[in-house]
A = this chain, B = another copy of it.
């Protein structure tokens, strides 16, 4: 039986993907989670392309981007949403059969997240674009597969890593157990867990923040950090929020290297802990600071202490601050 060529099944769809907190303390490059609050939204519509076109890049058009202050390119093969959409089409062809001649997709990206904030801005765009593209074609791919499309996009933007894109697509906490082959595990946290995210107006590009990391770590630090990561992981799956906080605070490799590059971060962390946070670290590559608390009420006090410390000790204005829950759903249609 000949398979029917894949073609758009809807006239329009729109997908939202949440912000993500990756490099969680000692879980650098391994552990990330999705949080509620802001995120990116991608609308997708069918687009007619030349029937002779064999290039997947030509089948994706980015029509419009809003909220990026004009900083992102509309060229689909160079934009994280565009790359994710192209890779989603590639996966569809590989897994489900050929695309119909002339079938393409036009995207409209609405950035809800500031760029270079450490909240997984590129991953949110990629996850929303992959989701919207897949849904437009009738969801031929399972949701988990979309992570692979997103990883190609992340690799093009800031190096191969899955700890933002996997939770942006799937939601919850995601442990990257191995990258080659890619093995992910979604972790359920049975306790009520809230995150305080505070993003100052300060640029901390991922590439620069990665460049400062040590190439080697001492065996002693390796062992300590592995123990801290173990504490954090067990805290998550066992719902022990004290252990989550303590594990987050116990990174002795990444945070000490990056913190000095974010004005006021040490004071912000101290203020968060003093105000009752269980733990506090840098979100992603920064400059966002993220603290963990056990309730929304605790979060409010921690939020204002962190904002105040960024202002007074770091002389930085705040562009985004919120107390948000773990987002268990990940990317979704809206």
Contacts and interface: CB of A to CB of B under 8 A. Distances in A.
A282 to B, nearest CB: 16
A188 to B, nearest CB: 10
Interface stretch (A122-130, A141-149, A174-182, A201-209): A174-182
B26 A227 contact: no
Contact of A178 (B214, B217, B228): B228
A290 interface: no
A230 B233 contact: yes
Interface string A186-225: 0100000000000000000000000001111111001111
Contacts of A238: 237
B178 A230 contact: no
A65 interface: no
B231 A234 contact: no
- Counting chain A residues whose Cβ lies within 8 A of the other chain, the interface size class is 35 or more
Contacts of A230: 27, 30-31, 175, 177, 229-230, 233
A234 B185 contact: yes
Given A227-B30, A233-B234, A234-B187, A222 B253 contact: yes
A12 interface: no
A49 to B, nearest CB: 41
Given A219-B213, A225-B222, A250 B178 contact: yes
Interface of A: 26-31, 175-178, 183, 185, 187, 213-219, 222-231, 233-234, 237-238, 243, 250, 253
Given A178-B224, A230-B233, 4 more contacts: A27-B230, A29-B223, A30-B230, A237-B237
7 smallest beta-carbon distances between A and B, as pairs: A216-B216, A177-B231, A29-B223, A226-B226, A30-B227, A222-B222, A230-B233
29 contacts: A26-B226, A28-B226, A30-B226, A30-B230, A31-B230, A175-B230, A177-B230, A177-B231, A178-B224, A178-B228, A178-B231, A183-B231, A185-B231, A185-B234, A213-B219, A214-B219, A215-B218, A215-B219, A216-B219, A217-B217, A222-B226, A225-B226, A226-B226, A226-B229, A229-B230, A230-B233, A233-B234, A234-B237, A237-B238
